Amino acid sequence: MTNLFGEFFGTMILCMFGCGVVANCLLSKSKAEGAGWLTIVTGWAMAVMLGVFSAIATGAPQADLNPAVTFGKMFLGVYEPGHAIMTMIAEIAGGIVGATVVWLAFLPHWEITEDKGAKLAVFCTAPAIRNTFTNLLCEIIATALLLIGIFAIFSQAVGNLSPGFGPYLVGMLVWALGLSFGGPTGYALNPARDLGSRIAHAVLPIAGKGSSDWGYAWIPVVGPMAGGGVAVVVAKAAGLL
């Protein structure tokens, strides 16, 4: 149970900071309105770092914060299938709660923000060019690179990292992914971050909100989960595992 709470709490922190930086940059009359993509990807990198630290500190040493990572580790024997499923549920729940806190923090800004797409973007991803195959492919590639990067950072060849250094490197990895592969789909990488927050958008009484875009919602779930499986195969073939 401690592991589940840690994954829930860490993912909640992740989404609070991650969705928060998007809200800060997109919602009307925020003092950071218009700060741009570099601010957003930097904020998400720090969100991941802080989420990982928070998960570890509250009893989740794996600190996945991401069902795609948990799914990949299941194939490596880190989790039994039942434990993996419960961990994924805890992560998605953390995403819902984290996004809800962001809604509360920016409460006066929703009504004066006219752009429904900007409001949705605070909670979840959407493609720049809507194409099912290419959107799915981008999410698979980006998430595979996330896990391959994690496997490389913590590989035996790299050696034992100083305590607490790993989360900084994972944050840098997510920063690099946003800078290099974030443009086509918004680099969900994480079903808990995307689906959990999208559920929050759907159920919260957000002033003037539009559709939660459920027609697209399966792509940032299936793509990252498939990417997690691909990463395990590639990492084993490359000798990272």
Is the CB of residue 216 less than 8 Å from the CB of residue 130? yes
Supply the DSSP symbol for 196: I
Q: What is the CATH number of the domain that holds 52?
A: 1.20.1080.10
| Token pair 């592969």 in the structure block, residue | 181
CA distances from 58 to 4, 52, 95, 197 (A): 10, 10, 16, 22
Is the CB of residue 10 less than 8 Å from the CB of residue 55? yes
To which H or E segment does residue 223 belong? Answer: helix 219-238
pLDDT (mean) for 107-127: 98
CA distances from 163 to 58, 66, 160, 166, 233 (A): 16, 22, 9, 7, 28
Q: What would the two tokens of residue 59 be?
A: 């009893």
For 153-180, how does the pLDDT look when each residue is reduced to its tens digit (9 = 90+)? 999 999 889 988 999 999 999 999 999 9
CA distances from 177 to 44, 93, 141, 180 (A): 10, 24, 10, 5
* Interatomic CA distance for residues 166 and 184, integer angstroms: 28
pLDDT, residue 159, reads: 87
Question: How many structural domains comprise the chain?
Answer: 1
- In this structure, which amino acid lies at residue 24? N
> Is the whole-model pTM more than 0.95?
yes
Q: What would the two tokens of residue 232 be?
A: 């395990």
Supply the DSSP symbol for 216: T
Provide the residue range defining the domain that includes 218: 2-238
For 36-83, how does the pLDDT look when each residue is reduced to its tens digit (9 = 90+)? 999 999 999 999 999 999 999 999 999 999 999 999 999 999 999 999
